[in-house]
Chains A and B, each alone.
Chain A
Amino acid sequence: GQQLNQSPQSMFIQEGEDVSMNCTSSSIFNTWLWYKQDPGEGPVLLIALYKAGELTSNGRLTAQFGITRKDSFLNISASIPSDVGIYFCAGQLTGSNYKLTFGKGTLLTVNP
């Protein structure tokens, strides 16, 4: 089945630093989604990407849909303490079923 490799597993950074995380897949997706999850809460959608090569921003967050359709990355600029949480990538094949295949997540810790 489809597998997503998300890296890094965890990051410890200082407030104000930029962050980059990525996901790679063994097969193609035609939608990539990035979510953030706080402890005990549900994943919150950050960015959705629909076209290969697409670059989309949401405030300090920027995500790109890889040209091969097998990868995506998420950048966070000028991190702040409230960026702490687990970030998940998810791939979706629309047109058949619409289930999301999730990466294992990146745990981000921001030191003030």
Chain B
Amino acid sequence: DSGVTQTPKHLITATGQRVTLRCSPRSGDLSVYWYQQSLDQGLQFLIQYYNGEERAKGNILERFSAQQFPDLHSELNLSSLELGDSALYFCASSVGPGGPYEQYFGPGTRLTVT
């Protein structure tokens, strides 16, 4: 158990819908990262938050957004869903700038768009 929690475990929804994925980092970690894992693209970085502020963006679509709340949990919002958004979405956490830099991953949310 990495100490990172994610809910829900599975999510099935229709095209055009909007969903919210939730992540709670390990105790003491201030940085949260979101990754998408698909068969064709592998594990891809989406976005990073540190202590409530956005720090870095990767290959995140404009239809996707995220935020980190004062209690440090984070939510990834996916809207206008398309079939191609079906993937595993992982949250990872780390202490933050200054290290240590290891990222610990949650169990993931499997999103299926039908």
Contact = CB atoms under 8 A, between A and B. Distances in A.
A98 B2 contact: no
Given A94-B99, A98-B94, A42 B105 contact: yes
Given A45-B104, A48-B101, A105-B42, 10 more contacts: A33-B103, A40-B108, A42-B105, A45-B2, A45-B103, A97-B48, A100-B33, A100-B103, A102-B43, A103-B42
Nearest to B94: A98
Interface string B44-67: 110010000001101000000000
A43 B99 contact: no
Nearest to B103: A100
A43 B33 CA distance: 13
Nearest to A102: B43
B107 A41 contact: yes
B25 interface: no
15 contacts: A35-B105, A40-B108, A40-B110, A42-B2, A42-B105, A42-B108, A44-B105, A45-B102, A45-B103, A45-B104, A88-B43, A98-B94, A99-B48, A102-B42, A102-B44
B74 interface: no
Interface of A: 31, 33, 35, 40-45, 48, 50, 88, 90, 92, 94, 96-105
Q: How large is the interface on B (under 10, 10 to 19, 20 to 34, 35 or more residues)?
A: 20 to 34
Nearest to B50: A98
B42 A97 contact: no
B43 to A, nearest CB: 4
A33 B102 CA distance: 8
Contacts of A99: 33, 45, 48, 56, 58
Contacts of A50: 101
B102 A43 contact: no
Interface string B89-114: 01010100101111111111010000
